[in-house]
Structure 1
């Protein structure tokens, strides 16, 4: 049933044949156990390698089951309320040692407007100039997985790959939502869902303000990468940002955003000609989970083969994160995609994009800066251009900057000289003069 917290107690309900380890995504398996899901010898080799890479994301940091469990006061809480608040021992983390760090469990809103618990991390700078408050930034992370084991706040560095940490080093206070369904298992994670991921991002700001009253600037902004870029694009179209409860939202930065999943799948398929080696192929089981998360869990996915669907059950059984999830279909023809035309014929992808994508003709309430690598093998730049044109046709203010030769992650650091001054101007109250403009940068040493 839609909106039902069917993931409550998921870890305790996992089939007993899988043995638990320190972290949920450290679950071990035997050949006999996974062969039931059609995962043969090659699949198992890929799976072990994927799980190994997943573990590296968390760096051996222990998963705190007590913290991520649903708070006892959840039923009486309201959106933005802080349910749990704990400081980190920064010496146990791999983050700049001058930062102080905290984690919170707070209340967000779900697909039918219901209350749902979510978790986040907060980092504070060592100091600000006398008489000033730290600027508040909401950070929306990129793809890490879809199971409750995959919370960035449970990682040794909060899943940093030159993302939120650049904001922290620049002196911003950062609140980074895990999104619902990651960490806490009250409900399924709404993967690449620009609408609901933007809700989690928005309410994390209010929760951060309630955790630290009168600490931050009234003005706040948002930045996100990949899945998080889509969340920030969705946030610009979320009418909540026009109110004063969160402060004054001044705009967002979307890096390599997954704003329109149908277009993204189609353009990636064209670019890679549906090669099983395509970088985007590992995301298809996750996108399928994102579709199932807003439909009955048993919904059959129209672009995956039967073999891929069966193997995808291992994502939940073994609590896999990004690499582990992609590995389960890696050895299948077309990486588990049903046919070369499966994407363009997928009514589910079209419907999901229409309901939960960004740049679908909605009015945007604040300016948006979009940064995209033109050699991105995960978020194809043509899909981002389609989203940009759709947003501009709706009368919205978007600047799209293209970076030739850059893949999915390098655009984060290459574009810092553009997005950091853009944010600084917004925080200083400089009125934006942008409307819709597309700019292509020229590399210093050529492509």
Structure 2
């Protein structure tokens, strides 16, 4: 009888343990081959498990791409590509876009032999609110994507990786570097590259010179944070304008090849006027939350590359340079790339140099240090 009870107990425990094991962060759920890819590239739309900062599990999505060639004897090097702002609605996931390969500068690295892992983050492509510019949640989703890619046999992804991102993805890359050692000790971070990264969130939302872009990004942040955490927008906008902020975020994805609709333009102009003299750094709880999710230069490990255009109207160059100087004061080796293009071209303009710099880090070469000239 005692043996029978023990057997029954084992079965019961096994049944209840299955969901927890199945939802383990970094576990691959599905990898569906993509038929139409650039020449020489094979790719998969993936689903995998991740967790937010509270330990809650989420099914999330992304794309993994690798060279279309025989599997090498050694695992391939990996770059985690962290995308810029596409929006906060579920439909805005980069992996859902027919233009994904055209608009994803990180895919250039596949031609250099890398596996490129491109997560959508939580809430893009999956039915929950996207935690826009929320550092820990985003970093977890990136690190778990790198883990999940290792379960795709055809990718042959290794455990050593670099992280490279642009705009919102620059913020994501820096947070991923900060969290990598503690959250994913099974992975080895080799290098971090960030093009036009928002670092001090309140300063970036205040100092970007394009007031209309600022208004749209502010709408994304306010809608995301108020929905996820119950923050009241009363100190920022009246109820009518709060409704406009929410609708802008719910209905609009960033589109690089289409003009915005008239309603979107009018909404952005209204939000720009309503928030013209609002500094979220001084409005609680948004100020504290923005500070908590800004990037701490003391916590970002090297080697590090930052690419920033002096003509960027969305991520203020002065804010990025201030962050870079703080990194340098910590003695972290920093490669600094000056550019002159617009914000949307930040990663593409610096791609060749960034991929070369990442490759040199994988090869074990000493990192260059531009701190004296910043």
Instruction: Please tell me the TM-score bracket, short chain as reference.
Output: 0.7 to 0.9
Other-structure match for 2:13: none
Counting only pairs closer than 5 Å after superposition, residues 408-447 of structure 1 correspond to structure 2 as 408-432=343-367, 434=369, 437=371, 439=373
Distance 2:234 2:62 in 1: 31
Instruction: Name which of 205, 221, 229 aligns with 2:146.
Output: 205
1:233 to 157, 174, 180: 174
Q: Does 1:356 align with 2:289?
A: no
Tell me: higher relative CO, structure 1 or 2? Use CA pairs within 8 A at least 6 residues apart. Answer: 1
Paired residue total: 351
Encode CA deviations 1:84-114: one digit per residue, 9 max, x unaligned. 2211222xxxx41331111111111112122
- In structure 2, what is the Cα distance between the partners aligned to 1:85 and 1:131? 22
Find the partner of 1:260 among 197, 200, 208.
Answer: 200
Give 5+ residue unaligned stretches, structure 2.
Answer: 1-17
- TM-score of the pair, normalised by structure 2: 0.83
Partner Cα separation in structure 1 for residue 29 and residue 20 of structure 2:
7
Gap runs ≥5 in structure 1: 1-71, 441-447
Q: Secondary structure at 2:204's aligned position in 1?
A: helix
2:215 to 265, 270, 281: 281
Q: Whole-Å Cα distance in 1 between the matches of residues 154 and 69 of structure 2?
A: 17
What do residues 171-192 of structure 1 show as CA deviations (whole Å, max 9, x unaligned)? 321110000000111x310112
Distance in 2 of aligned mates of 1:208 and 1:252:
19
State the match for 1:322 in structure 2: 254
1:292 to 223, 226, 234: 226
Q: How far apart, in 2, do the equivalents of 1:340 and 1:266 lie?
A: 9
Deviation for aligned residue 1:198: 1.4
Partners in 2 of 1:215 and 1:261 — Cα distance? 37
Contact 2:194 2:306 in 1 (8 A): yes
Q: TM-score, normalised by structure 1?
A: 0.71
Deviation of 1:165 after TM superposition, in Å, equals: 2.4
Deviation at 1:167, TM superposition (A): 1.6
Distance 2:221 2:372 in 1: 29
Q: Alpha-carbon deviations, 1:218-253, whole Å to 9, x = none?
A: 42111111010000011121143685412x210111
1:218 & 1:180 partners in 2: Cα distance?
22
Provide closer, same or farther for how the CA distance between residues 202 and 438 of structure 1 changes in structure 2, counting only shifts above 3 A. Answer: farther
Give yes or no for contact 1:74–1:83 (8 Å, CA) kept in 2: no
Is contact 1:363–1:396 with CA below 8 Å preserved after alignment?
Answer: no
